[in-house]
Amino acid sequence: MRDIQTTLMGNVTADPTEHRQEDGSTSVKLRIAVTGRYYNTATQDFSDRRTEFITIFARRGLGQNVMRSVHKGQPLLVTGRLNTSEWQGTDGVTRYSLNLQAESIGHDLTFGTSQFTKPLRAQDVPNVDPNSGEILTEAGSANPEDAADAAEEGEDSLAPAF
């Protein structure tokens, strides 16, 4: 069976929320409002269609980056798999929701600018002394001169004796 792949353009209705899954992983949930426009020949002007609200789910790294980057009111472009869900409301009425399992999310640059920041890899993150907050260099020393001295001593001891 094939999935419905689609791209949506809309505005975030509230800040994203993080949810724990049963398997311990996290997913992020946000909603966007999508309002289509059309040219109304009767009024010779553009008119808005009814606003649709779509729930977006993002998992793993995408979800983490959404939590750091996306806020209420921002225009987004979202690509993913479209589906619906059905449930019973508290009043007993069957309700439906339009959902999108996101594969890619980005800001719509038609309405503003953005700056991309790639997260640091684990090996690029410096060691920090938990007590002082200083960045640690080689051999756990917070003083770069001590580390340089230790490196020089190590080089001397490894040099062959003639």
Tens-of-pLDDT digits for all 162 residues of the chain?
Answer: 688 999 999 999 999 999 988 888 889 999 999 999 999 999 999 999 999 999 999 998 899 999 999 999 999 999 999 999 998 999 999 999 999 999 999 999 999 998 888 877 766 667 777 777 777 775 544 454 554 454 444 444 444 444
Domains and CATH numbers, the chain: 4-117 (2.40.50.140), 124-156 (no CATH)
Which H helix or E strand runs over 36? strand 26-40
Give me 107's structure tokens: 């800001």
19, 27 contact by CB (below 8 A)? yes
Q: Cβ-count burial of 96 within 10 angstroms (0-12 exposed, 13-18 middle, 19+ buried)?
A: exposed
What is the model's pTM?
0.69
> Which residues does residue 58 pair with via DSSP β-bridges, in sequence order?
28
